[in-house]
Amino acid sequence: MGIVNVTPDSFSDGGALLDPARAIDAAVQMVADGADLLDVGGESTRPGAEPLGAAEEMRRVLPVIEGLAARVRVPISIDTYKPQVAEAALGAGASLVNDISGLRYEPDLAKVAAKHGAALVLMHTRGRSRDMYEHAVYHDVVDEVLDELRESVAFATGAGVPPDRIIVDPGLGFAKDAAHTYEALARLDEFSQLGRPILVGPSRKRFLTKPFDVAQGKPRGETPPAERDWATAAAVSAAVFGGAHIVRVHAVREMVQVARVSDEIRKYHRGD
């Protein structure tokens, strides 16, 4: 899944794709590089980010989705938690809704997905972007995230979303410190208990810098996002070995190779 950030303040590439024509061209190149899906987002959800109004979010994303729908054949995802944005995006050509809140911000989003027959990604988080780390308190991070994702899945199916249209995401880095995130990634196979495909989004996130920034005596997170692709590759490989079905990344061309080779090794490991 290629990340198409149509925002001025994304942690990784804020502003780079704010122009719709530029965003469309970049996304088309992602497909040429091997992306199987595209995830278009208009609101940054990085820690500390301020909420964005629905009107401005639609102004950013709809021209990109409409343009991509005319140029690519891979599924297009709208990265939003707002029902009105999802409604407009699905009408413009998206076929998947990626909700970082697992329906905890705007529960009516499930009804929109059900109405359109759209696939729905339910990610785990707690709190909002500005205070998520205040909620990063767990006795057993994997067990608790599993329980909270089960609640999200049950709510979605209760609202009419067929189970086979639901994807789950443990939410690496969201309301989780680095240790929580590494544990969730290391125990990713346990998320198969949910019986749904698993999406993992490690790309360029701050938790990746803990092993090498600390080893070099630098504050964690000092290595800038654009220099975290090797670390991302390690996390992508671990995610594939752990059973991830989809990896959400910025550097598509490089991560396609990582994911496909990791998947090939995993096949032989399992004797498939």
CA–CA distance, 234 with 211 (Å, rounded to integer)? 12
Q: Which residues contact 177 (CB under 8 A, 6 or more apart)?
A: 133, 136, 207
**Which residues partner with 99 through β-bridges?**
122
Please say if 60 is a catalytic residue. Answer: no
Catalytic residue among 248, 260, 267, 270: 248
Q: In this structure, how many other beta carbons lie within 10 angstroms of the beta carbon of residue 185?
A: 19
Contacts by residues 9-12 (CB-CB < 8 Å, ≥ 24 positions apart)? 9/44, 9/46, 9/49, 10/44, 10/46, 11/44, 11/46, 11/204, 11/206, 11/225, 12/203, 12/204, 12/225, 12/226, 12/250
Catalytic residue among 204, 205, 206, 228: 205
In terms of Cα–Cα distance, which of 209, 189, 206, 208 is closest to 198?
Answer: 189
Task: Please tell me whether residue 157 adopts helix, strand or coil conformation.
Answer: helix
Please say if 205 is a catalytic residue. Answer: yes
CA–CA distance, 41 with 61 (Å, rounded to integer)? 7
In terms of Cα–Cα distance, which of 87, 117, 98, 120 is closest to 43?
Answer: 98
Residue 216 phi, psi dihedral angles, 5° rounding: -95, 5
- Cite the active site residues: 205, 248
